[in-house]
Chain A
Amino acid sequence: KAGVTQTPRYLIKTRGQQVTLSCSPISGHRSVSWYQQTPGQGLQFLFEYFSETQRNKGNFPGRFSGRQFSNSRSEMNVSTLELGDSALYLCASSLSAGVQETQYFGPGTRLLVL
């Protein structure tokens, strides 16, 4: 079974631009979560989607948004990019949104904002 895929793998943008990242979960998984990883802040939860609904969101500004499609694929969007948005963005999928569900991570999209 194919794992979680993320596209693109690398991205360079300039301040003020917007960016859209894509995540395809493992087949059959209905929950998708997004995380931001930076050297300073570590891994931080962005948001989670289950059955096309955002269930919760981490402590990030409204510039960070996302959505999930009927096939469980998810996208996240960052508008008005700032230098501090440079990070590895990880997507994780799980069968459902239960507390003990294991999240399986993709390879990430590395975003560099200049």
Chain B
Amino acid sequence: AQSVTQLGSHVSVSEGALVLLRCNYSSSVPPYLFWYVQYPNQGLQLLLKYTSAATLVKGINGFEAEFKKSETSFHLTEPSAHMSDAAEYFCAVSHSGGGADGLTFGKGTHLIIQP
């Protein structure tokens, strides 16, 4: 079974500071990994995804994530936090069986931006 662990249910950073949201996965086969963001009362928006083409993945809004197989991690970073980044962030892994088993999500990390 595949699983995702997001360390820290809440992360608080100052505006302009580095954002680091942690995600570790377990998978018996090479995974496909995703980061989604959810703003209040909205659905999920894809930030970026890893599909084995490159270990450093760049996404929208300045976010990027690095796949580290040795650490089974896929941490999300943004060099400079903006107030508009305040939201819930979800890391997800796609099952080897394809979309048939759906995405497995972490519990989410609530990002708080301090002015």
Contacts and interface: CB of A to CB of B under 8 A. Distances in A.
Interface of A: 4, 31, 33, 35, 42-48, 50, 55-56, 58, 90, 92, 94, 96-108
**Looking at chain A's contact residues, is the secondary structure mostly helix, strand, loop, or mixed?**
strand
Contacts of B99: 31, 33, 48, 50, 55, 94, 96-99, 101, 103
Contacts of A94: 99
The 7 closest A-B pairs by CB, nearest first: A45-B102, A105-B43, A43-B105, A97-B99, A99-B98, A105-B44, A56-B100
Contact of A106 (B32, B43, B103, B104): B43
Contact of B97 (A44, A56, A102): A56
Interface residues of B, number: 28
Interface of B: 32, 34, 36, 41-46, 49, 51, 90, 92, 94-108
B97 A42 contact: no
B49 A45 contact: no
A100 to B, nearest CB: 5
Contacts of A48: 99-102
A102 B49 contact: yes
A67 B49 CA distance: 28
